[in-house]
Structure 1
Amino acid sequence: MKRQLRFWLVLIGIGSMLSCEKEQPKTLDLSQANIVISAQIKSPIQETAANILIEEIKKRTDLQLGLNNNWDSNTTIALALANEKELFGTKVPTPEGDNASELKKEGYRIFHEHQGDKNTLWVIGADTRGILFGIGKLLRTAKMENGKITLNPNIDFSESPEYALRGHQFGYRNTANSWDAWTVEQFDQHFREQVLFGANSFENIPFQEANSSPHFKVDPQIMEVELSKICEKYDADYWVWTPAPHDLTIKNAHEDGLAEQEAFYAKCPRLDGVFVPGGDPGENHPAQLIPYLNALSEILHKYHPNAGIWVSLQGFNKEKVDYFFNYLDKESPDWLKGVVYGPSSPPIDLEREMLPKKYLHRFYPDITHTVRCHYPVDNWDQAYALTLGREPINPQPLMYTQLFNRDTKYTDGFITYSDGSHDDVNKVLWSQLGWDSKKNPKDIIYEYAQFFFGPKVAEDAAQGIFALEKNWFGPILENNSIKETLALWKGLEENNPDLANNWRWQQLIMRAYYDAYIQDRLAYEKRLEAEAYEILAKANTIGADKAMNDALQHINKADAELVSQDLKEKVFEYGEKLFQSIGAQTSVEKYQARSAERGAILDFIDYPLNNRWWLEDEFNKIGEFKSEAEKLARLEFIKNYESPGEGSFYDNISSADAKHVTSKTDDAIDFLWENDGISRKRLSTQLFQFTPTLEYNDLDPDSNYLIRVSGYGEALLRANGERLKPTKYEKGFEEFKEFPLPKNLIKDGKLNISFDKPDEEHLNWRKQSRVTDVWLIKQK
């Protein structure tokens, strides 16, 4: 009897467990949810929060969620503030301790409460911003498909931001490669999306002329106020970037600048920060700049008492830096809110150390450019730099995660520098790292893909974003992933026609096609060049003139017998789609881009990736030589330019495939830019470093060597630490300096080459000395 009783009790227990499991849903279905919003959430955020939830869910599911302040529905999304005890008669979940995230500024908690047949998803914010950021997390993690929205059940997630300032610059000006074509509604939606990923600040660049862009749909004087209204709608800080008059020593320049600023301040319903760059542009000494900033603060506070004045030390030399910080130490002005660290500022850690603690330190990182910028792409193949240029579609989650954690720790947060929509992935990454610098970039990119492309493709699309970054690492011809990346995105493109009009989708697919086209073209054009040199090798037999003519005809097949035109056509197809969807200007002639450097990637897609232009110019010069012997000698030099012979070595400085260069450029401008990017110089001449280092092993200690250097200006060369004297010292482009290498310096067969930096700080970087090519030539 006891055994039977025990048996039945066990069965009853198992049944109860099964019953409980049945009651626990595998997913939390929000498809029929009603939204309840606390009355303590003040306008306009109360309306904003409701609209975001209803509108963003409807876009992705075609569901219309209810909005009623009652608990009649079986499923409720409840928005409340952490200091509330109850919401329309229902108890608000109590924070778990005084250190709970939802009690900290901008923090929030998302909590699923399950009682009987009732499910409540709480979004509890420390403040109004916390409510919006909680909604952002909800929308980024929910699975939204047509007719359905679900979430993992029993969720209890909370966070508060690590960095107080998390924003992006959106200058409504012609320089931007897409925004100048936007409407107010497009900006509103875009700012909303940035907030949903954790941004809390936006910076405009006012005072643009109405006729300064052919794309303006709204007068910039009107748009600058509309952007302020949008920030107010989303409780985001509105900043402006406003340089001081170029020369404050000119009579009335001070007053004229202030008058223009005051008229603008009076119009803005919201203004939180005014950033005046100390340089780039601006050449003012702090002795003139500081009084201007002080006067500016008085005008600003007439209209916006809590707004702050910020300044950067960009371009300041040591005397200016010392003057500025001595002033802060001595005067400790209250009108200054903080200092902005930007490109060409003093080192970020030193600037933070010198800045008195009462002032905030804002980061101004450039996440929009690839070369001639704050953060150049590491180990980038020259073929990309010549074609994709400075403002391509540039998702780089791994690189920017590393840089974020290296530099942002010295600041109180950031407003990034951006000049277009091409860096959209980078903006989201920075916003999310601003919440938690330890976040895995894979999780961030997955949420990006799920929110903008949907749960069915999220995993593959996220993988595709990382694959695009991988396309850019190292020599293109050694990168096997480029074609794999294209195959991945082609599959996504073909299987998801419903995403064809999504501009983020368009950008990423366009890049996949572009990269693959450049790889095919580079392989083809490099082969043609190698074969042209084989023709030049016959010059002694067929004559110099015929060799030059035949070689040029062969290498110019790159322009006549084209490769992979199907890939190129797809790139142009997406260029048109992006112009129609977001006004992206990928060509100067076709889409009226501001300039060749501003995102005009279509204009350079066929830029020569071999030296055919240079060869044509060289052959024209050789044609003027009087003797056949002179012609043959020059052709022999050209043929062997990168092949100095057995036991000798050649390196194209800053090239991704350089074998002996041990330095990496940190000057951000190692790719030459001239003639609007249409340079006819030899490709190696368009790559340089100011002070490269090279390393060689296993040299023959019994042989004589000659070090040859090409570049521009000075070359203060050291071999194993010893300064060498040149026997030839030409300073022009594609001219040469030669340094005999004493045998006693390479007794162990090892050689390190370095270059001292000349005293050229007074020169613009374009005029400073640089090294482009280095040869180590074994003498016969």
Structure 2
Amino acid sequence: MKVYPLFLFLLTAFELIAQPINLKNAAILVSPSVPAPMRTTAPQMLTEEIAKRTNTTLKQVQNWPGSRSITIALALSSEKEVAGKAVPNRTGTELAEQKPEGFRVVSEGNTLWILGSDARGILFGSGWLLRNLKMDAKRLELAGPVDVASAPAYPIRGHQLGYRTTANSYDAWTIAQFEQYYRDLAIFGTNAIEGIPFHEGEIPSALFPIPPKEMQIRMSELCQKYDMDYWVWTPATFDLTDGVKRKAEIERHEAFYRACPRLDHIFFPGGDPGHNHPREVMAFLKDLHGKLIQYHPKAKIWISLQGFNTEQIDYFYKYLAQNQPDWLQGLVSGPSSPPMAETRYRLPKKYRHRQYPDLTHNVRCEFPVERWDQAYALTLGREAINPRPFFFARIHGKYAPFTDGFVSYSDGCHDDINKVIWSMRGWNPDKNVNEILAEYSRFFFGWQLANQAADGILALENNWQGPLAQNGGVEATFAFWKNLETAHPELKTNWRWQMLLLRANYDTYTRRRLLYEEGLEKTANAILTRATETDLSKTLDQALATVNRADTEPIAPELRQKIETLCADLFASIGLQTSVPKYKAKGPERGCLLDFVDYPLNNRWWLADECQKILALKTPAEQLARIHVIANWESPGIGSYYDDVSSGSKSPRVKTISDDATDIAWWDNGLSRTRLSTQTFQASPALDYSNLDPGARYVIRVAGAGDALLRVDGKRLHPTVYHKDLETFKEWIVPLSLTQDGQISVSFDQPEESHLNWRQRSKISDIWLLKQ
């Protein structure tokens, strides 16, 4: 008798238990107790999404099929039986499938149950199944056995999809594309969509497939179909004390309310835009609510305090304390709102608190890319394709505990991954980011790519970390995505895939250009240092010809062409507008990376303008002096130091960063000809210097605009040179007593400029410590 080791028996038993559930020939059975329209929506979603990936169409049945067939059964968790078959209910309290929107997915014999506490539980349970299936032309499998139950941590998990000219893609979408995106977001836990029904001052987009007024109603219908809350963002950009305009606005709202089949929440931003006092705002909103409940009895009003000053904020909270309005559902916190923790503390418990996070912008925004390299900021711009999974998971974790959830600000599909991160972390704040990305990649790119594509997305986020010139990972990321592209031509028309490929190519092209063009500038500066009074014109021409080789002999033309192709592909597939002239984007900041793909990453435009100014100077001596300033701008000599204040690679002594990313200018619609260092700045930087010569005299020089109130080791110094215009200098002599220990700390007091817009305030761009 042959004896087998015990572990072989255990292994065989485990394999039997852990065999995948084959759903290739499954049928879908829906309990009649599932509320409409989810009774139709959920099986349709399952059937269509599976068919797209497997070419298999699952049949829907009314009764249980034969014992050999697998059945996907959709039912409420409160049911005892469906068509004579017992529902596998659990006993106990605090069960996930009994909580709002909660679900349980459990395999029992030949049945895979999707049990929801309500209609949304059915939707999200179906979404869980789709995210975890292995689907291709040969298989439709779920790792089994399975018994998973889950309910959301936060009740509000939504995204704003504004069908308006400002958006960089939504304005080109058809109803079918909107429905697909609603469905995609629902599969990843989203339960709310916010529209923008009114479009003050906007010229209608040339890309609108149907009029905005009609699309807003269609968006409401889609929310009804997928049982999502329909929010609308409705600012008042006029003076609410104007009785005629106020009456007309209420009538406009009422007409919209009447036309919407579903409407759950009205969000009124106090500012951004709008400049009305809450005295007028609260009375206006109360009147709106009276109209709203005539057509949507359970709908509520929300307000944000964006742009309110201290007096207005205090007035708002006093109003709540005195009136305790039941028509107000809660408060929204967005960019320029009071701090989140303070808001939750001051807000009475009866009112809810919703975040309005900006997931769409990279710079000059609420959550800028930290220490973003200037080369990216000037070329990719404010609304580039921006997967930032770990960053936004951290931001969600920081602010979500003060809220009941979020509806994000988004102006296009370029932030798709950020939306999924927020929806999934809103469902489960502890869900691993890598796991979220694996589910994202499995569903949208195929199960074979679940981990590879997830790693590639994380690599793209890392492309934006630190100085670009020093980030060798950019080339590795490019090679990784290039190999994936070659291996998976079937994804060529997948817009999410196209976006990730575009980023991989664009990042690499930008880095190669940066290294090449900075090298040309160094060569040109070396040429300028050799200038004499007798060959000024010839030297300037030679230096200009050198930096201009970036245009006459461009690097990586194959990457440049690939970027052009991918931008065209994305416009065709999802309406992504990467150019104003080519794809009808509203403006240069609206994701128009194609318009800036060749923006200079050296100072050739500035140098060309400076050459004209130099030739206009009166004497050769003046001309030569200016040439030497330009040539040695970043190389002040041995024992001296230079910092480009907000450039990560050229500011080793700067300790501060600008936390709102207003330190990278956007002048002349992104086509500024100023020196690149002038376009990066801070208001009050702090620097530390060490290893100074105790016996040497030092001068601090500053370039920027406006005022610079300098302190060295805490002592305010008085300038010897003080020019306020852009790219002119201020200078201070450092007392010998402060450099005796071989080190100094430099800081700047911020001038009182609260009356000015941040764009007009003083700025410091370049700092030198010059050894005399």
TM-score strictly above 0.5: yes
Q: Does 1:356 align with 2:348?
A: yes
1:440 is the counterpart of 2:432:
yes
2:87 is aligned with 1:83 = no
Residue correspondence of structure 1 range 612-623 to structure 2 within 5 A: 612-623=604-615
Q: Which blocks of at least 5 consecutive residues in structure 1 are unaligned? A: 1-6
Tell me the distance in 2 between the aligned counterparts of 1:667 and 1:714: 20
Deviations 1:661-718 (A, max 9, x none): 1112112321111111100010011111222222222223332222222222222222
Contact 1:382 1:655 in 2 (8 A): yes
C-alpha distance after superposition, 1:711-753 (max 9, x if no partner): 2222222222222222222222111222222233344333222
Does the Cα contact within 8 Å between 2:367 and 2:660 map onto a contact in 1?
no
Deviation (angstroms), 1:287: 1.8
Q: Please name the residue that 1:252 is paired with.
A: 244
1:104 alignment partner in structure 2? 99
For residues 100 and 124 of structure 1, the distance between their equivalents in structure 2, rounded to whole angstroms, comes to 12
Alpha-carbon distance in 1 for matches of 2:41, 2:485: 34
SS at match of 2:114: strand
Report the secondary structure of 2:759's partner residue: helix
CA distance in 2: counterparts of 1:213 and 1:388, whole angstroms: 23
Change (3 A) 1:72 1:707: same
State the AA in 1 paired with 2:355: F
- C-alpha deviation, 1:252, in angstroms: 2.0
Match of 1:44 in 2: 37
SS at match of 1:203: strand
163, 169, 181: which is aligned to 2:160? 169
Alignment check: 8 A CA contact 2:75 2:115 kept = yes
CA distance in 2, matches of 1:340, 1:22: 51
Pairwise CA distance, 1:208: 3.5
* Alpha-carbon distance between aligned partners in 1 of 2:81 and 2:348, rounded to the nearest angstrom: 44
1:644 positional shift: 1.4
**Which whole-Å deviations, capped at 9, do the CAs of 1:270-324 have from their partners, x for residues lacking one?**
1111111111111111122221111111111121121111111111121221221
Q: Is 2:645 aligned against 1:650? A: no
Question: Is the 1:477–1:519 Cα contact (8 Å) retained in structure 2?
Answer: yes
CA contact (8 A) 1:63 1:147 kept: no
2:689 is matched with which residue?
A: 696
TM-fit CA distance, 1:106: 0.7
Instruction: Flag the 1:292–1:484 CA change in 2: closer, same or farther, 3 A.
Output: same
For 1:682-693, list aligned pairs within 5 A. 682-693=675-686
Give the SS at the match of 1:202: strand
Distance 1:142 1:719 in 2: 63
* Pick aligned residue for 1:556 from 524, 548, 551: 548
In structure 2, the partner of 1:134 is 125
In the alignment, the residues of structure 2 paired with residue 684 and residue 392 of structure 1 have an alpha-carbon distance, to the nearest angstrom, of 22
Shift of 1:11: 8.1
**Alignment correspondent of 1:402:** 394
In structure 1, the residue matched to 2:108 is 113
Match for residue 146 of structure 1 among 137, 143, 158: 137
Q: 1:184 aligns with which of 175, 191, 211?
A: 175
| 2:733 paired residue among 736, 740, 744 | 740
Which residue of structure 2 lines up, in the alignment, with residue 580 of structure 1?
572
**Contact 2:18-2:145 at 8 Å conserved across structures:** no
Q: Secondary structure at the match of 1:456?
A: helix
Percent identity over paired residues: 50
Whether the 8 Å CA contact 1:389–1:601 is kept in 2: the answer is yes
Deviations 1:325-365 (A, max 9, x none): 22222222222111111111111211221111111111011
Aligned partner of 1:3 in structure 2 is: none
Contact 2:106/2:147, CA 8 A, preserved across alignment: yes
1:134-158 superposed Cα distances (whole Å, 9 cap, x missing partner): 1111100110011321011111111
Matched residue, 1:159 = 150
* Separation of aligned partners in 1, 2:238 and 2:765: 35
1:221 Cα deviation from its structure 2 partner = 0.6
Post-superposition Cα deviations, 1:5-64, rounded to whole Å, max 9, x if no partner, equal xx89x8899998788557535211111111111111111110001101111100000111
Name structure 2 gaps, 5 residues minimum.
none
Paired residues for 1:525-674 under 5 Å: 525-540=517-532, 543-657=535-649, 658-674=651-667
Shift of 1:109: 1.1
1:451 Cα offset (Å):
0.1
CA distance in 2, matches of 1:369, 1:25: 45
The residue type paired with residue 36 of structure 1 is: L
Distance (Å, rounded) in 2 between the aligned partners of 1:532 and 1:356: 64
> Hey, what does 2:90 align to over in structure 1?
95
> Which stretch of the first structure deviates more once superposed, 729-738 or 588-597?
729-738
Shift in alpha-carbon separation, 1:744–1:409, aligned structure 2, 3 A? farther
Alpha-carbon distance in structure 2 between the residues aligned to 1:732 and 1:708: 14
> 2: CA distance between counterparts of 1:361 and 1:352?
7
Aligned-partner Cα distance in 1 for 2:166–2:286: 29
Partner of 2:749 in structure 1? 756
Q: What amino acid is aligned across from residue 50 of structure 1 in structure 2?
A: P
2:63 maps to 70
Shift of 1:530: 0.5
Q: Give, as a single letter, the amino acid of the residue that structure 1 aligns with 2:93.
A: D
Contact 1:82 1:95 in 2 (8 A): no
Q: Distance in 1 between matches of 2:14 and 2:425?
A: 37
Q: Distance in 2 between matches of 1:125 and 1:547?
A: 77
| Alpha-carbon offset, residue 229 of structure 1 | 0.2
Deviation digits for residues 97-155 of structure 1, max 9, x if unmatched? 211111111111111123xxxx2211111111011111111100110011321011111
Q: TM-score, normalised by structure 1?
A: 0.96
Change (3 A) 1:86 1:383: same
Asked if 1 retains the 8 angstrom alpha-carbon contact of 2:531 and 2:539, the reply is: yes
DSSP 3-state at the match of 2:447: coil
CA distance in 2, matches of 1:475, 1:14: 54
RMSD (Å), alpha carbons: 1.8
Give per-residue Cα distances to partners, 1:453-497, cap 9 Å, x unaligned.
001222211111111111111111111111111111111111111
Counterpart of 1:41, as a letter, is V
Query: Is contact 1:368–1:417 with CA below 8 Å preserved after alignment?
Result: yes
Structure 2 vs 1, CA of residues 416 and 525 (structure 1 numbering), >3 Å: closer, same or farther?
same
Where does residue 196 of structure 1 map in the other structure?
187
